Structures are given as structure tokens and as C-alpha cells.
């Protein structure tokens, strides 16, 4: 059995109720001293203060994490370079491996005297800087097998997110097809489609909003605009439900993006809202409109209510009211769809009064199915 580290003891103390850990602390200290595994007085005092703070309810999650990190061998959850470790029970095999490797590396640095846990526990800024810099450097340095730890962990997290997204999308698509199979197939309104396509082609050739947003949604900045009216219309309508690309970047855009105090442009705000609408909300909204047909009000407020009342998604209407501490789910959904309806008006999905048109009734389900089938 290897020598117990401060991290081992700290994690063991945090694994039991704080009151119980406080009572056991003196005895644990004596047992470790008798076994020749004494830790410094600074550690035991820091443990006592941390447990007292937890027991009294004063300690925050950040306080507890900071104390755990003061052992010198607990990796930081968030580095200055914005690398984030997932919670322990959510780490994949690569993240678990790299986390264990980093712990062993830090143990070596403590043994070599590079990291001083007593100074960390005392809040020494210089010691903290060394501790942080070592981890930043380790995460960016290739291992003997060529893998860069930070990149390997991030790639695994991305793969997990993509897999989860694909699973959600596949489920939503299956549900959409099930719902549509129970509804009559609308006839394509050719005259309205042609009129909308002419208007759309003109807008796509113009700079600024909404043309630039619609081009980004459909991915037309890198691809030619389809010649057929139906193909063009469906590509843009599908892109609204699942934007394909971002707005082209220029130097001004980059500077605005990196300025944390600057407000988002209209275009960036609209795209952010479109990307924030999740699969269940799109499914509930389009299913509700498909069932009701042309003439139904499709304002952001009405769509939010349709989603809240939908039986196609697991949403409890009692939990969708206003939240006194901020926007409730209903208001938040309405805010997101406020970015959608102006684009739908351009496409002729809704008219100037935000009422669903025959074109929208015919095309919205097809567009959503296209978005989720790509």
C-alpha cells in the first residue's frame, strides 16, 4: 500500500458528514502519527477550519474545492486557460486516465519540493501560481505516446456531446415522423412558394440582416444557392431550425466578440437564440402548428404556450409559469422564438400578423424533418 497523501485524507474526510469528520479528526491524526505517516500541523489546522466552515453552512462549493486543491495534488477543476474537468462521475475513460496521470505528476512535484502544500493551505499567492502553472503546462505537453492531455480530454468530451446530440436528434426525428404520419398531407401552395422564393433570392443577395443570417442558417456562404424554389425554401427553413454555419468574421467582428462588455449585434443575437432552441421545443411547436393548420396564431407568445401545453414533450405546465427570480421557462421560450418569427415572415411561413400560412403549414414539417435528417 502506498503512502497516504494529504489529498487521500482530505477526500476521505469530505466523504463523511462534516460533524462526524470533525469528531474523528483528532483520533485520525494520532493514528497516522503512530503509524509513522504524520502530516504537518498546517494541514490538520486547515482541515479543522474547512470542516467547521462546512458544518456551520458557511463554506461554498468553491471554498471546499479550494481547500482540496491546497493539498497540492488535487487538479484544479478550472484552470486559468479555461480547461474544465468534468465532475468525477461524468468523466469518460480518457478523462479518468488523464486525471489520474495529473495526480501522480503533482505528487512527484510535491515530493520534489516544487509544490509546497503548507504554503498553499496558508493562501500563499506565489505557491498558488506555481501550482497553477504546473498544471497548465502539463495539460499542454505531449505524453510519450504523443497525446496532449488537455486536447485528448476535450476531444473525448466533444465526442460525448456530439453522440448525445445525435441521439436526441434521432429520437426527435422519429417522434416527428410518427406525428406527421397521423396528419393529412397538405398540398404544396405553388404560387405562394414561388413568391416567397423570389423574395428570398433578393434578400440573400443583400448585405446585412436578415439576408446574412439566412445565408448562415442555410450554409450558403460556402455553397451555391439552389436553383429550384422548393429546394431553396426548404434549405433556408431547415437552417432556421438548425443553423449550419456562423456569420463570416472580419476584424471588427472578432474585436466585438472578444470585448466582454460589448453588446451582441442583431445577427449574433438571432443566431444565438436559434441555436439555443432545443429539439423538444422545435418538435412541440411544429407539431402543434401542423395539427392546427393555416390561420392559427404563431406569435412567439402563442408558440411558447403551445410548447408548454404540448403532450408531445415531457413538460409540466405547472412548472412553466413566471419565475419570481427571473425569466420562467415560458418567458424564456417566448424570447427565443422572438428571433424565429421575423425570419418566418420573410419565408412566408407566417404573415405580417404572425398567422400561419398555407405555405408554412405545408413546409414547416418538411423543413424540420430535413434539418434533423441531414
pLDDT attached to residue 264: 75
Residues constituting the chain:
374
Between CA 243 and CA 272 the distance in angstroms is 10
Between CA 214 and CA 221 the distance in angstroms is 10
* Start-to-end Cα distance in the chain: 54
Contact 350, 357 (CB under 8 A): yes
Query: Could you give the residue ranges of the DSSP H alpha helices within 87-228?
Result: 93-111, 117-121, 125-140, 149-181, 190-204, 211-218
pLDDT attached to residue 316: 40
- Give me the average pLDDT of each 10-residue run along the chain (374 residues): 82 95 95 91 96 95 95 94 92 96 97 96 95 96 96 95 92 95 95 96 92 93 86 97 80 44 79 94 96 97 95 54 46 95 97 97 97 88
From residue 63, give the alpha-carbon distance in Å to each of 23, 53, 80, 89, 321.
21, 9, 17, 20, 34
Q: Indicate the pTM of the whole model.
A: 0.69
Contact 69, 39 (CB under 8 A): no
Q: DSSP letters along 263-281, please? A: PPPHHHHHHHHHHH--HHH
Q: What ranges do the domains of the chain cover?
A: 6-154, 183-373
Of 184, 220, 179, 176, the C-alpha closest to 201 is: 220
Between CA 231 and CA 106 the distance in angstroms is 57
Cell of 81: 486557460
Between CA 68 and CA 59 the distance in angstroms is 13
Using DSSP, state whether 300 is helix, strand or coil. Answer: helix
pLDDT attached to residue 258: 43
Residue 260: burial class (beta carbons within 10 Å; 0-12, 13-18, 19+): exposed
Amino acid at each position: 500500500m502506498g503512502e497516504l497523501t494529504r489529498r487521500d485524507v482530505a477526500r476521505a474526510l469530505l466523504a463523511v458528514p462534516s460533524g462526524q469528520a470533525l469528531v474523528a479528526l483528532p483520533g485520525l491524526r494520532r493514528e497516522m502519527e503512530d503509524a509513522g505517516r504524520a502530516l504537518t500541523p498546517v494541514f490538520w489546522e486547515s482541515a479543522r477550519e474547512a470542516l467547521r466552515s462546512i458544518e456551520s453552512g458557511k463554506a461554498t462549493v468553491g471554498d471546499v474545492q479550494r481547500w482540496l486543491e491546497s493539498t497540492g495534488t488535487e487538479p484544479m477543476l478550472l484552470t486559468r486557460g479555461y480547461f474544465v474537468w468534468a465532475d468525477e462521475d461524468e468523466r469518460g475513460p480518457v478523462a479518468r486516465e488523464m486525471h489520474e496521470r495529473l495526480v501522480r505528476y503533482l505528487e512527484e512535484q510535491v515530493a520534489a519540493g516544487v509544490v509546497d502544500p503548507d504554503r498553499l493551505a496558508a493562501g500563499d499567492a506565489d505557491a498558488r501560481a506555481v501550482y497553477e502553472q504546473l498544471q497548465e503546462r502539463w495539460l499542454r505537453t505531449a505524453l510519450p505516446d504523443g497525446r496532449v492531455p488537455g486536447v485528448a480530454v476535450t476531444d473525448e468530451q466533444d465526442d460525448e456531446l456530439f453522440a448525445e446530440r445525435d441521439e436526441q436528434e434521432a429520437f426527435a426525428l422519429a417522434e416527428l415522423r410518427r406525428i406527421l404520419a397521423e396528419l393529412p398531407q397538405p398540398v404544396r401552395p405553388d404560387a405562394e412558394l414561388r413568391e416567397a422564393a423570389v423574395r428570398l433570392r433578393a434578400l440573400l443577395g443583400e448585405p446585412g440582416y436578415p439576408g446574412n443570417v439566412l445565408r448562415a442558417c442555410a450554409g450558403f456562404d460556402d455553397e451555391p444557392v439552389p436553383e429550384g424554389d422548393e429546394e431553396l425554401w426548404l434549405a433556408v427553413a431547415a437552417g432556421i431550425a438548425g443553423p449550419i454555419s456562423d456569420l463570416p468574421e472580419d476584424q471588427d467582428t472578432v474585436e466585438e466578440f472578444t470585448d466582454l462588455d460589448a453588446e451582441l449585434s442583431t445577427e449574433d443575437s438571432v443566431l444565438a437564440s436559434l441555436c439555443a432552441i432545443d429539439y423538444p421545443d422545435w418538435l412541440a411547436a411544429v407539431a402543434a402548428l401542423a395539427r392546427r393548420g393555416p390561420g392559427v396564431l404563431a406569435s412567439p407568445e402563442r408558440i411558447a404556450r403551445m410548447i408548454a401545453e404540448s403532450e408531445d414533450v415531457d413538460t409540466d405546465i405547472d412548472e412553466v409559469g413566471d419565475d419570481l427570480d427571473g425569466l420562467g421557462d415560458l418567458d424564456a421560450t417566448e424570447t427565443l422564438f422572438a428571433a424565429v418569427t421575423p425570419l418566418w415572415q420573410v419565408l412566408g411561413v407566417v404573415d405580417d400578423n404572425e398567422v400561419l400560412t398555407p405555405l408554412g403549414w405545408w413546409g414547416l414539417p418538411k423543413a424540420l424533418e430535413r434539418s434533423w435528417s441531414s
